[in-house]
Copies of this chain bind each other. A is one copy, B any other.
Amino acid sequence: MRHALKGNLIWTEEMGSFRVLKDGYLLIEDNTILGVSAKKPENVPVADFGSSLITPGLYDLHLHAPQYMFSGLFMDEELLEWLDKHTFPLEARFADMDFACKAYTAFADDLKNSCTVRASVFGTIHRKSTLLLMSLLEKAGLCGYIGKVSMDRNSPDILTETTEEAVSEEIRFIDEASSLKNIKPIVTPRFIPSCTDSLLSALGAISKERNLPVQTHLDENQSEIEWVRELCPESRSYADAYERYGLLDGRSIMAHSVWTTEEEMDILSSHDAWVAHSPSSNMNLSSGIAPVRRFLERGVNVGLATDTAGGSSLSMFRMITDSIQSSKLRWRLQDDSLPPLRFSEAFYIATKGGGSFFGKAGSFEPGFAADILILEDSSEEMTVLAPELSIEEKLEFYAYRTPDRRPIAKYVDGKRII
């Protein structure tokens, strides 16, 4: 079915420059963008959203659904203490399906009402509750990937599988997830410290056999990197270790990459991997600031991520502004050869940058997925300068001032879900 949306269209096709069409039309057929037009298209129903902003959806490349319930809590710790003291004990509770149902229902509701259209999500080691999470997100109308987390070492007993269990449960998980349409499984070794060599190799093989993408953590924290060095003495680097286990052969998301070296960037770009840049989490857990500008210069794919609940917000607009703020501090304090991200660049990363992991997504170019947000122009009610602002400025205002606002309407893969 062909139809059009009318409003103030704004999107990015390439890094660093907005495309804007004031009072424009976005033409859609089924689940695909046909293009934009300044003129009213003929013989097509038009939904007129007035002065609202119409943008591509935002793509969250890394978040932990079970952690959403403690987003904004326990923020006085660094990564490894935070995992042991809070995260692992709380994730263990997802063995209880009643608890999981309550927590995941709240998560699915809030993700549905956010500006995220597709996401790549960690569950827990528990197959059943992770499948429940998948069905809840599918029912909410979202698209994306969810992984049953694999962990067979260095974790509390209540959150550890044997290697055999981890492998057999992963295969069963993938099989049982095949009934879903829009939410698909993704191979998810938590990170090297939580997975034995045998498990990592087995997961690499499963990803290859089943043609499934992979998500995991890379180079988040210096103590973690040192630990990986001890655990994998034969590897030249953390990324090299993942490469050896065959975990970079298909499509893969490497969350964080705060301390990734030039040599590791060679590995990531040779495998066409995605970095999930998680600025809020990297501040909260005192991890540091990822060299996003350098990834871009090197042609490494980058998307933005909330990393709930290392990150303390589920809002991808908040991640846009957090990524800009932290890039400014990195430029000032760490490396002034890498200029800060500009608003248009961070917006590109949150849309087409991360969207590319899901196919042609995150732009209004013809053939792209119809993932669309209709946003109230919040400047109209909030600042006397509103009548003088450009569409770009109105979008910047929205990102900084009203990042948690529910969109007026949201289309995911052509289907309106808000």
* Chain B neighbourhood of A287, CB < 8 A: 332
In the complex, whether A213 has a CB less than 8 A from a CB of chain B is no
Q: Given A69-B385, A383-B70, A396-B75, A325–B284 Cβ distance below 8 Å?
A: yes
* Chain B neighbourhood of A72, CB < 8 A: 396-397, 399-401
* Chain B neighbourhood of A231, CB < 8 A: none
Contact assessment for B312 and A393 in the assembled complex, using a CB-CB cutoff below 8 Å: no
Q: Which partner residue on chain B sits nearest A385 by CB separation?
A: B69
A340 to B389 alpha-carbon distance, docked (Å):
38
In the complex, whether A276 has a CB less than 8 A from a CB of chain B is no
Q: Given A326-B329, A329-B283, A69–B383 Cβ distance below 8 Å?
A: yes
Contact assessment for A333 and B76 in the assembled complex, using a CB-CB cutoff below 8 Å: no
* Chain B neighbourhood of A74, CB < 8 A: 393, 396
Contact assessment for B328 and A321 in the assembled complex, using a CB-CB cutoff below 8 Å: no
Taken residue by residue from 384 to 418, chain A's Cβ proximity to chain B (1 for < 8 Å, 0 otherwise) reads as: 11000100010011011100100000000000000
Q: Given A325-B283, A329-B283, A333-B329, A400–B71 Cβ distance below 8 Å?
A: yes
In the complex, whether A364 has a CB less than 8 A from a CB of chain B is no
A115 to B334 alpha-carbon distance, docked (Å):
34
In the complex, whether A102 has a CB less than 8 A from a CB of chain B is yes
In the complex, whether A372 has a CB less than 8 A from a CB of chain B is no
A342 to B397 alpha-carbon distance, docked (Å):
30
Pick the residue among B106, B286, B331, B404 that contacts A328 (CB under 8 A).
Answer: B286
Contact assessment for A343 and B69 in the assembled complex, using a CB-CB cutoff below 8 Å: no
* Chain B neighbourhood of A70, CB < 8 A: 383, 385
Nearest-neighbour CB distance to chain B for A318, whole angstroms, equals 11
In the complex, whether A7 has a CB less than 8 A from a CB of chain B is no
Q: Which partner residue on chain B sits nearest A283 by CB separation?
A: B325
* Chain B neighbourhood of A289, CB < 8 A: 329, 333
A69 to B379 alpha-carbon distance, docked (Å):
9
Give the oligomeric copy count: 2
* Chain B neighbourhood of A325, CB < 8 A: 280, 283-284
In the complex, whether A291 has a CB less than 8 A from a CB of chain B is no
Taken residue by residue from 37 to 57, chain A's Cβ proximity to chain B (1 for < 8 Å, 0 otherwise) reads as: 000000000000000000000
Q: Given A342-B76, A400-B72, A288–B102 Cβ distance below 8 Å?
A: no
In the complex, whether A225 has a CB less than 8 A from a CB of chain B is no
Q: Which partner residue on chain B sits nearest A104 by CB separation?
A: B384
In the complex, whether A73 has a CB less than 8 A from a CB of chain B is yes
In the complex, whether A265 has a CB less than 8 A from a CB of chain B is no
Taken residue by residue from 324 to 346, chain A's Cβ proximity to chain B (1 for < 8 Å, 0 otherwise) reads as: 11101111111000001011000
Q: Given A73-B393, A73-B397, A75-B343, A384–B329 Cβ distance below 8 Å?
A: no
10 contacts between A and B (CB under 8 A): A71-B383, A72-B397, A73-B385, A74-B393, A75-B321, A99-B384, A284-B325, A286-B329, A289-B333, A312-B401
Other A-B pairs, 18, CB within 8 Å; known A90-B385, A326-B329:
A68-B383, A69-B385, A70-B385, A72-B396, A72-B399, A74-B393, A75-B324, A75-B343, A75-B396, A76-B343, A106-B384, A283-B326, A284-B328, A285-B328, A287-B332, A288-B329, A312-B400, A404-B404
